[in-house]
Structures are given as structure tokens and as C-alpha cells.
Amino acid sequence: MTLLIQQLINAVELGSIYAMIAVGLALTYGVLRILHVAQAGIYAAGAYIGLFLYQVTGSFVLALAGSVILAGILGVLIERFVYRPMLPRPRIVALIASIGLLICFSDLFRILGGPNQLSFDIRSLNGSYGIGHLLISKADAAILGGTILIFVSLWFILQKTRLGFAVRAAAQDIETTEIMGINVSRSVSWMFFLSSAVAAFGGVMVGVLYNAVYPDMGDAIAYKGLALIVIGGFGSLTGTVIASFLLALTEVFMTTYTAVPLSREAIAMLFLVLLILIRPQGLLGKA
Amino acid sequence: MCMYCAMAGLQPASSDASIESSHRERNHRLTRRGFNAGLLAAGLGASSVARAADSQTIKIGTFGPFTGPAAGLGTEAKKGIEFAVAQANAKGGINGKKIQLVAYDDRANRAEAVSVVRKMIESDGVQVIVDGSVSLTSIAAAPVANDAKIPMVAAYSNAVGVVKGEDHVFRWASVADVQGYVIAHHAMRERKYKTFAVLMQDEEYGRGVVNGVEKAVEELKGKIVYKKPFAPGEREFRAIMTEIKTLGVDSVIMAGFSPSLTSAARIGYELEVFPKAQFYISCSATEINWYSGIGQYGNGTIASLEFLASTNHPFTKEFVAEYTKATGEKVVSHQAGLMYDSSRLVFDAIKRGGTKADGIWRALGETKSFMNLSGVDVKFTELREPLLPIALAGWDSASQNYKLVKFEKDEALIDPRPWYKYYK
């Protein structure tokens, strides 16, 4: 029983990390119908910015806040100067640009920070909390707390504010939303700011969790994030979050309770292929 | 024995062979000098000046992943060979000729490795290659060098397939299986452990190490109660460590690259799997990522290393002092150290065999033993593989360095030959 509960905790922790990346991708896809693969580059940029700020200031809180804000601005710049000029063109053009950006990010980090992983060791987040026989690492606990806070905030912004109303309206029909006098451009910029900030939070926390910030840290999360928004239902935020936790549960429990001689990555991909075969429209998508 | 051989701790197979190759080289140089004089006489001055300049240098090729996901390994390897070349050139080169390094990036990609090796042989005219790449790419590149009859020394590729069947390819590192075999013997014979969990990076290197572990555990009547593969670069081991914790094994043995080893060690300590169970890891334990990532964790972890930079041998101390001063690095990484030794091995072969591929190949083949940077004499087998003593070393968190547990020199354990039968 202890094993089951501990693995459930592990799965929730892993699912939180997936959700932080995938939710930004779902937001972008929902409104602009762009597969924003470069979101994984922003996730890595968040980690690098956070590490740099931590080295400069010595304060983790300042580093995290600074990283979230700067990555948010980076996201806005990408939307304004890369995606927006491409919107009249077929969506494949934006996708290719996005893949190119991700590769550029990775090489830029390699040039700036070197090819090896950099240490992001926050001593106060080392160690674990023990509850009976269960153990939760402090970094994991911080990720869990942060994820809850982020999703509650996102829900509030999307459901209870004018910005959220504009984003939801734009997701249904951009032209009509504009005709109704809503500043869609500004709403989209804010949406990029928010999704990039969430990704940066994920990047910083994962960097601390594994004590590793490295150039291609966005690579694996990029293709998993894409798969998650497809499974979630093409732009459905709730579907994407559910898919993130389902994927994490599958990885953890297939690893634990089956003798499948496959790595976690291979199990994840098998799961994604199976889900797409069973439900091509995604978990909460319409057929 | 020549002075250089004595310095390097090298014993040539036969002094006659050395004298013969020395004569061959002298004759070769005379012929080339005559050829250059003929060209000058024919009025082809510019060309001959270039050739004369060329004749004063020895081109050595190297390749490795200098960019891309495995760039950390390749750039470290490059530091090792660059330092060796600079050191040799500062001492006047080899037989009075300066060494010129021709280096190409293979991005850890098989096709790229084949392409760059072909290029350095066909366009650059290198006569010997020091392979600074991983097993995956070395396996792809080895037949190219072999077909062109250009000798190649694999510095840190551990897969049997790199050398097997390629008679111009040599290795300086151990065979992956040997590492697993040595680790399991230490665990069972000296620590009396019986039950094991095994984590295997799912590619040539990881599979090789685990093959060695499995054979030893079977022979010594132990039991592997848990075995999981993981993808290269994997960092998430919470589910696996949680499960291992419930099994209560005596030891966990892990084969993989340093990002995975580092992450597994940290998570294992956080979840209190270690130090209750003894953690053993493969040779990537001295990659830079381990030093930067392990932090306060990992104390007591035992690694199987192909050299140890923290020994008291005068040669090692001098090398470490010079290397750290020249490169600004705090540690001698796995790749840098093995490339340094591989380069010295090649320089020695050039010294004895001349600057042409055939002579270098013959001299490499005649090398019976060579002293590595830990000050240990390493014998060679007829399979062009070393009988490399494995340094079992324990990680000391306080000093952030490895401390020697023992040098495993038992030839029954470190012999690469028995492992060839497992690979086609």
C-alpha cells in the first residue's frame, strides 16, 4: 500500500511538470491554431535565466520571479515578431519557424552556458518531507504547490477577468471577436506572456529538482507537450491537464507494475499512440 | 629501450622491430627530400615550399560530438587531445616534427561520423586517428578507417563492436562488459552482497556493462531481483527508486551516462534507498556532469573507472597539475583523461613506426604495454584491446572527489577477450 501511495505521489509530481508545459501549448493552439513547439525553448530559457539571476542575486525567490517575468516578455516578443507576421500564411509555416526557434534556443544556450549541465543547487530545497513511510522531496513539494497556485490563477484569469473573456472569445472566432471591439492582439500578447511565464516556472523548478540546467532540456518535453495537446483535445485546457496526469500515471505504473522491458520514454509514446488510435479527437475534443 | 619509451613506461615488442621501422622512416624521409629537391629543380617552387612545410608536421585526425546533445563528451575529449598535442609540441614534437591536429564534429550522428572520417582520410590526408566519439558513432566510423588502412584508437568507446573485426582499430578504454564483471565481483566477493537491482541505459554501452554484471552474478550464485532499462539522458528515477526501496536489495548497479547516474544518485539518496543499499556505477561517473550535479549526495557510491586522477604517482600528479593549469578545469574528466592517454599511445607509435599509416599501425600492434595516467602499466592483447586495470573508487562528498578503493588488476576479470563471443 505504501508503494502504491508513494508511486501515486510520484505520478502527480511528474504530471504537474508535464501540465506546466502542455497548458501553455494548449492555450496558444486554442486561440491561434499554432503548434508553439518553441514553448519548450522558453521553458529552458526560464531555467537559464533563473540560474543566472540566482547566481547574481543569491535569492531564489528573486531569481524565480525575474525568470517568470523575463520569459513572459520573451514569449510576447516571439508572438509579436515571429508568429504574427506568419498568421496569414498556412499554419505549417509557423510550425516550421517554431521548430527552428527551438533548435536556435538550444544552440544559443550551448554557446552561452557550455555543453555540460549547470548546477542549480538550492540547498533549502534539498532533502525530503517524511509522512509516515512516505517521502516527498522538498523540490517536488514546491512544484506541487506552485502548480496548484498556477492552475487556480489561470482558471481565475480565464473565467473571471476581461482578459480571460477575450481569450475565450478569440479561441472561438477571432474575426467576430475583433468586430465586437475586443483588442485581440493585446489579449493574444497577454496569453503568450502567461503561458511563457508558466513554462519558465516549470523550467526553473525542474532545473532545481534535478540540479541540472542544460541546453537541450526542452527537447523531450517538446514532443511530449505536443502529444499531450493532441490527446487533451486540440486546445482543450482541461483535456490537456487530464492528459498530462494520465501520461504520468501510465509511465509510473507501467514502470512499477509491469515487466515491460521498455524505457519510460518508450512507454509514454506507446500510450500516446494507443490513446490517439482509440480516441482520435482527443479526450475532450469533439469528433 | 628509448628514452621516450622509458618515460611513458612503454615496452616495445622487439627492439629489432623498432630499429627496422626507424630505418624505414629514415629511408622514407630521404626519398621525400629527394622528391622535393626534384620539384625545386623543375621550377615548382611554391608547391614544393608547401610540401616542405607539410613534411615538418604530422597530421593526426580526431572526431567527436563537439555540438549537439553529446557535446559535453566530445568537447572534453577534445581538451584531452589538444592538451596532449600542445604538450608534445612544446617538447619539440615527435622526431623533430610538430603535430597538427585535424578535428571534426560528428554531432554524435552515425552518418556524420562516417562522413568526417572519410573527409579527414581522403582530403586532409591524416595517417592516424584518435577517436574521441561515443560507441554509437565509433562503430559506424571504424569500418571507414579500417578499409582505408588508417589506424584508429578509440579512446572511450566501450562497445565491443568498435574494435571487433576491424584490424586497424585499437582501443584504449575497457570493454563495457569488463566493467560490469569487475563491479559484480567486487560486490559479491568482497562485500558479500547477494541481491541486486540493475539499471541499464538502453544502448551498446549500458547493455555491455549489464551483460558483465549478469554473467558474474550468475557465476557467483547471486540474484538480480530487479532490472530496468532507461533511455540515454533519462533523469526521472523516482518510480524506479521507490520500487527498489521496497525490494530491499543489497546493492544497486547502474550503467549509463553521467546525467542519468547523477540524477539517480540524488533521487536514491532523497528516497533513502542509499546508502542502505550500496550504489555502484559505471565509468561515466567521472564525466563533468557528475561533478557539477551530484551536490551533497552520492557519498560512498563506488564507480568503476578506467583511470584515477587522484593517485599519488608522480606522473599523475604532474599531469593533473599541468592539465588543470593549462585548461582551467578543476577535474580531469573521463573523456579528457582517456583521450590524453590515447594520444600519448599514438605519439609513441609514431615515434617508433614513423609518420605513415602502415608504420603507425604496425607499431601500435607491437605495443605490449603502456603506462596510463594513473601510473599503471596496461598490457595489450592480440585483439588490439588493453588489459586495462579498473580503478574502483568511492565518491567522497566532503572532498567532492573519488578515493581509490582498489585497482582491479586480476586478468581473469579485466580480460576483454571472453566477451567477444557475445557480439557478432
Is the CA virtual torsion A55, A59, A60, A65 positive or negative?
Answer: negative
B116-B121-B127-B131 Cα dihedral, nearest 10 degrees: 20
Answer yes or no: are the C-beta atoms of A30 and A187 closer than 8 Å: no
- Whether the pLDDT of residue A235 is over 90: the answer is no
Q: Are strands B223-230 and B195-201 parallel, antiparallel or unpaired?
A: parallel
Distances (CA, A) of A280 to A28, A32, A91, B274, B275: 20, 21, 20, 44, 47
Q: The complex's ipTM?
A: 0.87
- Whether the pLDDT of residue A147 is over 50: the answer is yes
A68: exposed, middle or buried (Cβ count in 10 Å: 0-12, 13-18, 19+):
buried
| Residue-range domain boundaries for chain B | 1-174+312-387, 176-305+389-422
pLDDT recorded at residue A253: 87
Binary contact (B272, A135; C-beta < 8 A): yes
Q: Which residues contact B392 (CB under 8 A, 6 or more apart)?
A: B182, B183, B186, B302, B303, B304, B305, B404, B405, B406, B407, B408
Residue of A nearest to B261 (CA): A210
pLDDT recorded at residue B255: 96
Chain A residues touching B75 at Cβ < 8 A: 114-115
pLDDT recorded at residue A209: 92
Amino acid occupying residue B372: N
* Closest approach of A188 to chain B, Cα-based (Å): 33
Nearest CA to A224 among B231, B244, B255? B231
Give a yes or no: residue A239 inside a domain: no
Please determine whether the domains at B1-174+312-387 and B176-305+389-422 fall in the same fold group of CATH.
Answer: yes
* Closest approach of A251 to chain B, Cα-based (Å): 9
Chain B residues touching A262 at Cβ < 8 A: 229
- Alpha carbon distance A20, A130 (integer Å): 26
Q: What are phi and psi of B127, to 5 degrees?
A: -105, -10
- Alpha carbon distance B117, B171 (integer Å): 17
- The per-residue DSSP string of A113-177 comes to H-SS-B----GGG-SEEEETTEEEEHHHHHHHHHHHHHHHHHHHHHHHSHHHHHHHHHHH-HHHH
Residue B256 at interface with chain A, using a CB cutoff of 8 Å: no
Question: What's the CATH code, domain B1-174+312-387?
Answer: 3.40.50.2300
| Cell 500578447, residue located | A189
Q: At what angle do helices B71-90 and B314-327 cross, to 10 degrees?
A: 110
Give a yes or no: residue A225 inside a domain: no
- Alpha carbon distance B211, B282 (integer Å): 13
Answer yes or no: are the C-beta atoms of A170 and A236 closer than 8 Å: no
Give a yes or no: residue A233 inside a domain: no
- Alpha carbon distance B116, B132 (integer Å): 12
Q: What is the CA radius of gyration of chain A?
A: 19
Residue B388 per-residue DSSP state:
P
Q: Residue length, chain B? A: 424
Counted domains in chain A:
1
B269-B401-B209-B108 Cα dihedral, nearest 10 degrees: 100
- Whether the pLDDT of residue A238 is over 70: the answer is yes
Question: What range defines the domain where residue A95 resides?
Answer: 23-218
Give a yes or no: residue A283 inside a domain: no
pLDDT recorded at residue B53: 44
Q: Name the grid cell of B163.
A: 574494435
In a mutational test of the B interface, the residue from A17, A104, A117 whose CB has the highest number of chain B CBs within 10 Å is A117
- Alpha carbon distance A154, A159 (integer Å): 8
- Alpha carbon distance B74, B71 (integer Å): 5
- Report the phi/psi class of residue B95: left, alpha or beta, with left for phi > 0 and alpha for psi in -120 to 50: left
Size of interface A-B (CB pairs under 8 A): 99
Residue B248 at interface with chain A, using a CB cutoff of 8 Å: no
Q: What is the mean pLDDT of residues A241-268?
A: 85
- Whether the pLDDT of residue A55 is over 90: the answer is yes
- Report the phi/psi class of residue A132: left, alpha or beta, with left for phi > 0 and alpha for psi in -120 to 50: left
Average pLDDT, chain A: 90
Give a yes or no: residue A159 inside a domain: yes
- Whether the pLDDT of residue A1 is over 80: the answer is no
- Alpha carbon distance B207, A258 (integer Å): 20
pLDDT recorded at residue B54: 55
Give the residues of chain B that fall short of pLDDT 70. 1-54
Helix residue ranges, H only, B220-257: 238-247
Answer yes or no: are the C-beta atoms of B78 and B131 closer than 8 Å: no
- Alpha carbon distance B399, A144 (integer Å): 34
- Alpha carbon distance B33, A215 (integer Å): 51
Residue B240 at interface with chain A, using a CB cutoff of 8 Å: yes
Question: What CATH class does B176-305+389-422 carry?
Answer: alpha beta
* Closest approach of B6 to chain A, Cα-based (Å): 37
Q: What is the pLDDT of residues A2-53, one digit of tens each?
A: 888 989 999 998 999 999 888 888 888 888 888 899 999 999 999 999 999 9
* Closest approach of B243 to chain A, Cα-based (Å): 7
pLDDT recorded at residue B11: 39
Binary contact (A117, B75; C-beta < 8 A): no
Chain B residues touching A14 at Cβ < 8 A: 236, 238
